[in-house]
Structure 1
């Protein structure tokens, strides 16, 4: 089924829904309310006014139902019109580019080093206590996520004071060069995600701004998301749920109290974590003094040094104001490359995506 027929089918469901509602309201008025209104003349005046009030409310509901029905028909007609399909065809190329960038951003969100905690197996627990304890906090112990560490209250409280130390100790992230490189990669990619979300939103807003004033009034704020979706735009996920979250959890033996220490590795914490790891590592003499840390300052410096221009294809923010630029290792870390100014370059997201782990020529 092509898109046009699919939209007609979807919109017809709404038309039939509001038509059914309107018929029910009319049926109630004709067969219940009108007879009651007529009969109320025979009784006290107060009864008449009570029924009259109900009648006025019924009229309001009826007109509302008819308005919704007319709106649904207009919407169905609009999505079948040449006006909508001309807009869709006009922006198809730009919408496809936005969707491609959106997919790239979603890929970057999956970059994180597993904590490496051990799978200790599954059990079935039954409480046969003679006492009817609710033990409500014990429900938290069912959380077997690898980023949750069940511990004593002392460990939980100490993790508040020294979060990075305790993440390393209890989530098996050893302070070594390999893990530092991986955390830097996560920070670099997550920084690109946050920049990409802003740039993508700005690009879509710029595209849509051209048509907003020309749209029918019934394409209101509620209808706008569906309008964008039918134009071909994928939804932009602006949430930050992709940030790794570590939890230290203590639950009392009786199950009546608990303590949690939650640590979210957002960009600020990742940047600080990188500095913490670097302070704990004894670097090889061959790279000591040469290696830099992947920080917001270094990322900004590399872009400025390269004049905000992709070093492969030559495109710059002058050509595309909403261009996502990323920082790339010329010689990948996986092939022995270091995080230092001479081994870093600015690439547009497309070139960086296609380069992968290859060495730049």
Structure 2
């Protein structure tokens, strides 16, 4: 019976191919012609002239893109004790059942724990992060998390500004680009113009992970605490409530939260305090918050020690917050 069904299916396929092959051949011919046209256009002098006109602006976009990627490159703080590394093999004949043992991870941001700890971490994530990852509520720790938040917020803002600037550049030349190229070859058009690949995802937000794996390896649960913009803001406030501030004379200091970042920008009129560039002149300008006296040299997060800088000046300053 199965053989007869197979014969019938093959017969139907051969019939469809015999009827449809002229159409398929036409599609292949159209695809080849399109690829030849694409190749010819991107090698043409008219496209070279268009590319030359916008090269400077595209280079600026690519520089900003690289700056954004550097802001994302942040490692979460973990003071877990380093016990060294070792290899482990289970040679038992029933090892094939232990599927979850293969998924166990040992990294600074992963804590192997009991099912109870994993469950409780979901209820009180910040307390358990501090307890099991050795994070102490000190001003130094707080400053490090403020720096992470400042970088991540600038990265998220930068992605939006970068996308807007990219669309502005494409729009400025769209009347000079053939419609078919604009509609059917958008990705390749951007690549040939010289735009670098932009990562618009938020996958770079790091996580603290609590993982439980049963001794038999057949059960596993994990609790992931993603340190995104919202959680970082809340974690900074959580730490601040536990700290006895010593650096400022009054025993108080501002917290570098999203609210303070916005306040400093508004205070400075959304203008770079070094070069004078502003969002009024450049609507898609990325502005960042900088410590005038760096934290590494004793500077504090207080309004008088904070200023608004454009991303170019902040990057060139060297001592980034």
Alignment TM-score, normalising by the size of structure 2: 0.91
Q: Residue in 2 aligned with 1:248?
A: 210
Q: What are the ranges of 5 or more consecutive residues in structure 2 without an aligned counterpart?
A: 1-11
Change (3 A) 1:285 1:355: closer
Change (3 A) 1:51 1:123: closer
1:192-235 alpha-carbon deviations (Å, 9 max, x no partner): 00000000000000110123344224425552112111111111
Q: Which has the higher contact order (CA 8 A, sep 6+)?
A: 2
Offset at 1:51?
A: 7.4
Contact 2:182–2:189 under 8 Å retained in 1: no
| 2:47 aligned with 1:84 | yes
Contact 1:95–1:233 under 8 Å retained in 2: yes
State the alpha-carbon separation in 1 of the partners of residues 18 and 103 from structure 2. Answer: 54
Q: Residue in 1 aligned with 2:7?
A: none
Q: Residue in 1 aligned with 2:123?
A: 161
Offset at 1:133?
A: 4.9
Q: What are the ranges of 5 or more consecutive residues in structure 1 without an aligned counterpart?
A: 1-48
| 2:240 aligned with 1:278 | yes
1:159-217 alpha-carbon deviations (Å, 9 max, x no partner): 11111111111112211110100100110111000000000000000110123344224
Which of 192, 196, 199 is the aligned partner of 2:158? Answer: 196
State the alpha-carbon separation in 2 of the partners of residues 305 and 149 from structure 1. Answer: 43
> Superposition pairs for residues 191-340 of structure 1, below 5 Å?
191-219=153-181, 223-284=185-246, 286-340=248-302
1:212-266 alpha-carbon deviations (Å, 9 max, x no partner): 3442244255521121111111111111121111110000111111110000000
| 2:303 aligned with 1:341 | yes
State the alpha-carbon separation in 2 of the partners of residues 240 and 144 from structure 1. Answer: 23
SS in 2 for 1:115: coil
Aligned residues: 310
Alignment TM-score, normalising by the size of structure 1: 0.81
Change (3 A) 1:312 1:117: same
